Structure 1
Amino acid sequence: MKQIVIITTGGTIAMVESTEGNGVKPQDPAALQSVLPLLTPYAQTRMEHILNLPSPHITPQEMYLIAQKVTECLAQIDTDGVVITHGTDTLEETAFFLDLVIQSDKPVVVTGAMRSHNELGADGPYNLVNAVRVAAHDQAKGLGTLVVFNDEIHTARQVTKTHTSNVATFQSPALGPIGHLSKKDIRFYRQEVVREKALPLVNPTATVALIKAAAGMDDSMIQWAIKQNYDGIVIEALGQGNLPPAMLPGIRQSLKQNIPIVLVSRCFNGSVQDIYAYVGGGKQLKEMGVIFASDLSGQKARIKLMLSLELNLPISLLKERFEKLI
């Protein structure tokens, strides 16, 4: 049987709902050990607890620690894959971080839960079983980091949390899941996935601001980021990559000070393009030197920019990493 390591980091899957009405809180992560007998038909597993944090407490530094542990486990000859349990609020960011820095072709699967361990209809044990099933599947090799939730398999690049409480929260709006699970089998619908050139596994120290554009906004948030000595800025632009004209002075100032600006769309479908030639349009922004991040979400572009800045690349090469997926 395949040997799968389960790394726990906390999240709702490792929480309980208080019977006194005091909310959902973390519990002993070892409670997930109770799920291990359910995994025996699919793989030999061992569980390692490295964090017990709600996912809003996860920072890029914790992502680095998780990635280090995953890399260490995958380097062991007798390990065939790794499953990580994680809170759902920032799960997609950790999954994408892992997808960028893990160089092994062995399966890496992230899962979690929308309902706490003792809640009626808890989905954590079920998702964990399915994550192990996928990690032990031969077709999961070479697909990068995957997210398994609610009988679906998603790529880390495409997946996003779409609902605050529904167990079907994780979706890939542009392309859909790459596979499904049933009680009897696992079906992968495509093996071709977008994989980027791996970035070095480093503890990211770069600070990157994430700014969402809206009607009538000015450049005050951009100017604030410049004054705070941020190393980079990601802007969620309107539509295909357009901004209110009042944001342009801050963009010019940022670029003049060699602070890269990466542009994504606030839409969750489609990609940014230099189409519109009016003031603040994508064509003007690209000519100014703004980096277009294709179909990435703002939160994922921020993770990629943090890691990319550690390479100390000139703007031209940094631009290529975002626009040509190299």
Structure 2
Amino acid sequence: MVKKIVKKKIALITTGGTIASKEVSKGLLRSGVLTGEELASLCQLPEDIEVKIVDVMQKPSMHIDFEKMKEIRDAILKELQDSTICGIVVTHGTDSLEETAYFLDITINDSRPIVVTGSQRSPHDIGTDVYSNLRNSIYVAVDPNLHHTGVVVVFNERIYSAKYVKKVHASNVQGFESFGYGYLGIIDNDVVSIYQKPIVKDYYIMKRNIPRVDIIKCYTGADGVFIEAAIHAGAKGIVLEGVGRGQVSPLMMSAIKRAIASGIVVVVTTSAEEGKVHPSYSYTGSAHDLQQNGVILGEDYDSKKARIKLAVLLSSVDSVDQSYFK
């Protein structure tokens, strides 16, 4: 008797982006117009893996907001109800890929691999990275060594943790990196090799609508005008992208104090690629001064990831404090 080979199965969830783009005129692309079926038809998908295609949306990634992130999450959760699904691959535009990946990481609690990928070049460009990124992502999604790893990003044969990955090049195929932490593993000739895995996994259950959270960049001579604008706009959280150990301009302090007095949660991060926010100095606008006035120190989070986490926390827990950013 010939034993029937049971294929591994993944769900390919498509959301648009350059990976699903078409050229509309010389040098200009329309992002996110290919359906999942059209995208799959262009690629040599692995024959030993069953791929279920789920079209969720066809959007440029900067058109994806929290509500659309929730749509993507809900589509993933629906597919994960099928016990025969080994893992999930999400195709996404690169400009906000790191934000969606981290949102999914802290709002989904499942041991199976969830992989987010995209491309820097369109499917029809010379030297396109569409096919290799998609194929590699599928192999990662069925690899049992990726269980209990959280959401990962696959790009240019490398596997990154969603928490620390960021887009570092506007156009090069080596578009993503994880400074200071490295990548988790590689894919070489369809073989997945894992070198390290995260040991901490955050997960939050959202109970309320996600509120407005703004990022405000700090620079020499910056005052409180953007903080005041955030207060006026109804922000429930503000992330300050400070410098170095988490310093801001002293001219911002009065507005920061007003924001906190009005009930807004304020977190300070650093614009440095590596290192943590820490109360190292004692002067107006230092991380120590900010902490003494009720600002949460954002540790090693970059401003975008801190915004995602703060927004999710504000929709999930009753009170946000320093312990959530340890």
* Map of 1:320 onto structure 2: 323
> In structure 1, what residue type is equivalent to 2:126?
L
* Map of 2:17 onto structure 1: 11
Q: Give the direction of change, closer, same or farther, for the CA distance of 1:302–1:195 in structure 2 (3 Å limit).
A: same
Give the number of equivalent residue pairs. Answer: 318
* Map of 1:262 onto structure 2: 267
The equivalent position to 1:38 in structure 2, one of 21, 45, 50, is 45
TM-score, normalising length from structure 1? 0.94
* Map of 2:301 onto structure 1: 296
Identity of aligned residues (%): 34
* Map of 1:236 onto structure 2: 241
* Map of 2:286 onto structure 1: 281
Q: Is the 8 A contact 1:16 1:119 kept in 2?
A: no
Deviation at 1:3, TM superposition (A): 0.9
Q: Which residues in structure 2 correspond to 1:1-326 (within 5 Å)? A: 1-18=7-24, 20-21=25-26, 23-26=28-31, 27-29=33-35, 30-35=37-42, 37-41=44-48, 43-196=49-202, 198-201=203-206, 204-315=209-320, 318-323=321-326
Q: Is the 8 A contact 1:36 1:45 kept in 2?
A: no
Deviation at 1:193, TM superposition (A): 3.9
The whole-number CA distance in structure 2 between the counterparts of 1:185 and 1:228 is 50
Q: Which has the higher strand share?
A: 2
The whole-number CA distance in structure 2 between the counterparts of 1:118 and 1:320 is 47
Q: Is the 8 A contact 1:64 1:202 kept in 2?
A: no
Secondary structure of the equivalent of 1:310? helix
Q: Is the 8 A contact 2:243 2:272 kept in 1?
A: yes
The whole-number CA distance in structure 1 between the counterparts of 2:283 and 2:207 is 40
RMSD, aligned CA: 1.5
Q: Is the 8 A contact 2:14 2:92 kept in 1?
A: yes
The whole-number CA distance in structure 2 between the counterparts of 1:207 and 1:119 is 38
The whole-number CA distance in structure 2 between the counterparts of 1:37 and 1:187 is 21
Secondary structure of the equivalent of 1:283? helix
> In structure 2, what residue type is equivalent to 1:283?
H
Q: Is the 8 A contact 2:133 2:155 kept in 1?
A: yes
Q: Is the 8 A contact 2:98 2:162 kept in 1?
A: yes
1:18-75 per-position Cα deviation (integer Å, ceiling 9, x unaligned): 3x4161014331321214652213x211111110000011101100000011111112
TM-score, normalising length from structure 2? 0.94
> In structure 2, what residue type is equivalent to 1:282?
A
Gaps of 5+ in 2: 1-6
Q: Is the 8 A contact 2:94 2:118 kept in 1?
A: yes
Gaps of 5+ in 1: none
Deviation at 1:297, TM superposition (A): 1.1
Secondary structure of the equivalent of 2:16? coil
Runs of 4+ in 1 over 6 A off after TM superposition: none
